[in-house]
Structure 1
Amino acid sequence: MTTHFLSLQFLLPFILLSTTTTTLAQPAPAPGPPAPTNITKILEKASQFTTLIRLFDITKVGDQINTQLNNSKQGMTVFAPPDNAFSSLSAGTLNSLSDQQKDELIQFHVIPTFISSSQFQTLSNPLRTQAGDSTFYNFPLNITTSGNQVNLTTGVVNATVANSIYSDGSLAVYQVDKVLLPMNLFGPQPPAAAPAPEPLKKKKKTGDDTTATGDSTANSSGGVNLRLELHGFVGGLIAFIAMVFYL
């Protein structure tokens, strides 16, 4: 019995080692599919974007961004003003906007393509945003660089990219120091179109007829006078001849 006990003492470590090795050698479970991109969660994690998140929710632009990201390969870029940028606006600015104008304002901060930080130097201006028409007096956004600094101008405000919040090759989110105010909503109105020139007035026929009639009348009057003068001359000549014969 002592012999069996000693044998178990020597075999027990080998049994435990074998069991442990088998357990450690088991493959790790495969990672699940990545969670769909969510712009709201990205901004919540970054903090200081409460106002922008609220506007994303009101206008449904946040849902639109998430849908486009998960169903398109073009990617997107978001310029995100923090809460202090919104608080620096004139009092009542956001409340004075209609729902449509709020939607246009937020869409103006979204680019329908992915822009990496290295691509800012090669962009063509004006940059087209989700707000649409990028022509002057509408929604133009121009980007310039100076060294590592990226500047944005809307025709109403000049802003700067403060830092990169998020980038995964599909979505890029950059913090900007000011709210991007588009010209269409906050800029000067386009000048009124000049009135069309009036068409040239044609000469009235009545005036021409009058002139012609006047000329005809003048010619007629001149002819009458000439006949009267001839008649008087002939009469005088006859009287002169008669007087000569009488003498």
Structure 2
Amino acid sequence: MATALVSSIVLSVFLASIATVSARTAPESAPSGPLSLTGILDKNGQYTYFLRFLADTQVGSQIQNELNTTTEGFTVFAPTDKAFNNLKPGLFNGLDSQMKVQLVLFHVLPKYYTLDGLQFVSNPVRTQATTQDGTVYVLNFTGQNNQVNVSSGVTVTPVNNALYQKKPLAVYEVDKVLLPVGFPGANSPLAAPAPAPKISPGPAPAAAEKSESSGTEMGLGLVLGIALACVGFLS
């Protein structure tokens, strides 16, 4: 009986040790409490600029309010602070409040996508951003060997690790700020127009050919006239 008691104690200690080790090695879970986009970004760090844009434009609050009611979900591409620092200096100085809202919404898809889903999605994919006349801004995705790239027409960058990926919200890190075509300060579109073909000299105009022919005939006539005059003089 004593042996059974000792064995029970040893087993309990052993199981407790396993539980402790498992707790230490378990992957870090998502932020506790209600689902929060800004909480996810703040927890992961290096998204200071994007968080500021979400707050100033109130897009962060809008997404947060709709997370509890949306059936489609949202996919957010979060540029790092380094991505913003790599932009052309003064790019945002001339943007009004509406343009800033468009820029932030251009990083939001009105549907939940996993990384695998983005790899095989049907392009183009609409974003939450629209122009003043109602035109929807779109993104294009390409995937190969489990690597997904996103293209705005101006910017192309890999879609990196998932900061959060559980419906209704997916948040992915990107190393560049996505700039739509025609956005103030953005570079030319990636698909540059083909260079104009070189025009090779064509045939001479008909008038020039006629003039040249007439000149040749006149020259031959003059030579023939001189020759006949010389023959007459000699005779």
| Band of TM-score, shorter chain | 0.5 to 0.7
Residue in 2 that maps onto 1:104: 102
> What is the CA-CA distance between 1:177 and the residue it aligns to?
1.0
| Residues 1:148 and 2:146 are matched in the alignment | yes
Give the secondary-structure state (helix, strand or coil) at the position aligned to 1:66.
Answer: helix
Unaligned runs of 5+ in 1: 1-33, 190-247
- Alpha-carbon displacement from aligned partner over 1:131-155 (angstroms, at most 9, x marks no partner): 037xxx9723100011111111111
Give the secondary-structure state (helix, strand or coil) at the position aligned to 1:173.
Answer: strand
Residue in 1 that maps onto 2:62: 64
Q: Which of residues 155, 158, 173 is equivalent to 1:157?
A: 155
Give the secondary-structure state (helix, strand or coil) at the position aligned to 2:68.
Answer: helix
Q: Which protein is bigger by CA-based radius of gyration?
A: 1
Task: Give the AA of the match of 2:73.
Answer: G
Q: Single out whichever of 177-186 and 60-69 deviates more from structure 2.
A: 177-186
Percent identity, please.
Answer: 43
Give the secondary-structure state (helix, strand or coil) at the position aligned to 2:125.
Answer: coil
Give the secondary-structure state (helix, strand or coil) at the position aligned to 1:130.
Answer: strand
Residue in 2 that maps onto 1:54: 52
TM-score (ref. length: structure 1): 0.59
- Alpha-carbon displacement from aligned partner over 1:111-132 (angstroms, at most 9, x marks no partner): 0110011211221111100003
Give the secondary-structure state (helix, strand or coil) at the position aligned to 2:111.
Answer: coil
- Tell me the distance in 2 between the aligned counterparts of 1:37 and 1:150: 25
Q: How does 1:24-103 map to 2 (within 5 A)?
A: 35-103=33-101
| Residues 1:115 and 2:113 are matched in the alignment | yes
- Tell me the distance in 2 between the aligned counterparts of 1:155 and 1:98: 22
Task: Give the AA of the match of 1:125.
Answer: N
Conservation of the 8 A alpha-carbon contact between 2:159 and 2:172: yes
Conservation of the 8 A alpha-carbon contact between 1:141 and 1:154: yes
Residue in 1 that maps onto 2:177: 179
CA distance change for structure 1 residues 172 and 138 in 2, over 3 Å: closer, same or farther? Answer: closer
More helix by share: 1
Unaligned runs of 5+ in 2: 1-31, 190-235
Q: CA RMSD in A?
A: 1.9
TM-score (ref. length: structure 2): 0.61
Give the secondary-structure state (helix, strand or coil) at the position aligned to 1:129.
Answer: strand
